[in-house]
Chain A
């Protein structure tokens, strides 16, 4: 008996098509692994560009870029935009272009850059306004009410992220009471959503700034700062009338370098009643790693000459 292709024959006999026809099965199997037969022993790969030529694809990307420039700047808007765009208009989400405008990370980068620029222009415009109508800026309590500042990010929108982060961090730490284990966990945790305060910095303007982290890159934190808030607000005994600069009054996004900077954050401890907190400090110089790599990084102690007291 022919032992060749025993399994295949067995399988084919189970098929209803060849139930009673052993001759056909034999014929099929004979031609199975031969070069001349109808069934080939190699795979045929066909191009899967969906019937579009390369030029057509490039043209579409180009149009998309032009559209993107004119779009309104807002995170939620742009993200929903990109997901919708992925679904119907653009059939190739895994395009080889690294700087593809639809890649979320690049888009986010672009958003940060453009929004920082936008904040600068807003401040310039406000300065001009100050010269023309001095009363207007003095009388308005909240600058976010002005139409000019409507697109500046607001701190209030991010409070919920912070609440989520607080839940995450208290779950992460649990009931452990050892400094080493807690700090070990914190060194590899996510910081997006944390409320950071700059305690020490080489850049004097950054000291005392506090806000919610919305993005962490290798060398920077991007935080959203509340309006009318600086280090002076935290001093109870300060009797002077508090004055804020224009950039402090509109708040918004800040880019803070990790180098030569220490950040402070506090996490709730204990059961349910979050009256008690524990403070931790982040040494920026030792954290210059992308948050993706930080999860698995093996940290090492170094000479401390770069850490200010």
Chain B
């Protein structure tokens, strides 16, 4: 499995819906990603509290990403939803618990050091996204970065900043700093694909080569797309599907699958307060070859013989 955890969904507000034009572009982007071999894709909704003041109270309306419009990718790609909160103040963290119920992944993009540190120590996040195109908000300390990785919060950088020639030099130095601080552990690389810059998308092999130049070894660089990305997805999905990672609801294939969930939201039941938490989609008929039934039948056959 090769993951791309950052495909930007062209919506800036909770209430606005995606336009037809943007949707076709997004579909183009997704199909190129599929052609390049990606299997798991997360659609990213970027939310900056300074621009968008109003948050809907109803939990169901909180997720602007409509996966049902992308039904044609159902068998080809596993699509997840993600929110990135661009935070410059710790007071903006109050809605994060709400977001955790509706999105598969919850991410923070800190713009100063204080936010970064409180996010690592207090919040239950999946990813911390760093804006590599500009100067980093602070010097990346080994201690803070490693404490995050130890907790299971990974760091993300986008490779489209590397490809864009205007931001390349800044990005290289920033990524080198992150690699140094994290001791090349616990990072995730994603495309950061924008619908206006679809030509920036690359195969993951190319990006791995590029990262080898910067200073990651080959095995680690490919882990950015495979192992560590899937661990991030697992962390996010377990928050939805399980109670504190003890008992997980299953019935679909694997711990990170969300196939059964999307089928529920398509029906959009009126009585359910939160479609992501609805368990009714997971019910299925009893298997034909049930162990207990078989054993009982054996017992009866034996009794009849006697």
Does B180 reach chain A (CB closer than 8 Å)?
no
Check if B243 sits within 8 Å of A187, measured CB to CB.
Answer: yes
Check if B231 sits within 8 Å of A179, measured CB to CB.
Answer: no
Distance between A248 CB and nearest chain B CB, rounded to angstroms:
14
CA distance in complex: A305, B152 (Å): 8
Check if B249 sits within 8 Å of A279, measured CB to CB.
Answer: yes
Which residues of chain B in 139-167 are interfacial with respect to chain A, using CB atoms and an 8 Å cutoff? 150-152
Distance between A49 CB and nearest chain B CB, rounded to angstroms:
47
Known contacts: A183-B242, A309-B234. The answer to whether A304 contacts B152 by CB under 8 A is: yes
CA distance in complex: A183, B248 (Å): 7
Which of B256, B277, B283, B289 contacts A277, CB < 8 Å?
B283
A-B contact pairs, 30 of them (CB 8 A): A142-B302, A155-B295, A156-B295, A159-B292, A159-B296, A177-B278, A179-B279, A180-B243, A269-B283, A276-B286, A278-B282, A278-B284, A279-B284, A280-B250, A282-B247, A283-B245, A286-B244, A287-B246, A301-B239, A301-B244, A301-B245, A302-B152, A303-B151, A303-B152, A304-B152, A304-B235, A307-B234, A307-B238, A309-B230, A309-B254
CA distance in complex: A184, B166 (Å): 50
Does A8 reach chain B (CB closer than 8 Å)?
no
Residue of A nearest to B261 (CB): A179
Residue of B nearest to A212 (CB): B292
Distance between B117 CB and nearest chain A CB, rounded to angstroms:
18
Residue of A nearest to B236 (CB): A304
Distance between A142 CB and nearest chain B CB, rounded to angstroms:
8
Does B255 reach chain A (CB closer than 8 Å)?
yes
Q: Residues of B within 8 Å of A, CB-based: how many?
A: 44
Report A's interface with B, CB cutoff 8 A.
142, 155-156, 159, 162, 177-180, 182-184, 186-187, 195, 210, 226, 229, 233-234, 236, 264, 269-270, 274-283, 286-287, 299-305, 307, 309
Check if B251 sits within 8 Å of A279, measured CB to CB.
Answer: yes
| Residues of chain B with a CB closer than 8 A to A159's CB | 292, 295-296
**Residue of B238, B256, B292 contacting most chain A CB atoms (<10 Å):** B292
Q: Interface code B244-283, partner A: CB below 8 Å = 1, 0 otherwise?
A: 1111111100111000000000000000101001111011
Report B's interface with A, CB cutoff 8 A.
124, 150-152, 230-231, 234-235, 238-251, 254-256, 272, 274, 277-280, 282-286, 288-289, 291-292, 295-296, 299, 302
Distance between A287 CB and nearest chain B CB, rounded to angstroms:
6
| Residues of chain B with a CB closer than 8 A to A179's CB | 240-241, 249, 277-279
Check if A302 sits within 8 Å of B245, measured CB to CB.
Answer: yes
Check if B279 sits within 8 Å of A278, measured CB to CB.
Answer: yes
Q: Which applies to chain B's interface (DSSP): helix, strand, loop or mixed? A: mixed
Check if B279 sits within 8 Å of A182, measured CB to CB.
Answer: yes
Known contacts: A283-B242, A309-B254, A309-B256. The answer to whether A278 contacts B278 by CB under 8 A is: no
**Residue of B242, B251, B280 contacting most chain A CB atoms (<10 Å):** B242
Check if B272 sits within 8 Å of A281, measured CB to CB.
Answer: no
Residue of A nearest to B302 (CB): A142
Distance between A303 CB and nearest chain B CB, rounded to angstroms:
3
| Residues of chain B with a CB closer than 8 A to A286's CB | 244-246
CA distance in complex: A30, B23 (Å): 100
Check if A281 sits within 8 Å of B255, measured CB to CB.
Answer: yes
| Residues of chain B with a CB closer than 8 A to A302's CB | 152, 245
| Residues of chain A with a CB closer than 8 A to B244's CB | 187, 286, 299-301
Check if B241 sits within 8 Å of A270, measured CB to CB.
Answer: no
Check if B292 sits within 8 Å of A187, measured CB to CB.
Answer: no
| Residues of chain A with a CB closer than 8 A to B292's CB | 159, 162, 195
CA distance in complex: A282, B244 (Å): 11
Known contacts: A276-B285, A309-B230. The answer to whether A210 contacts B255 by CB under 8 A is: no
CA distance in complex: A306, B291 (Å): 30
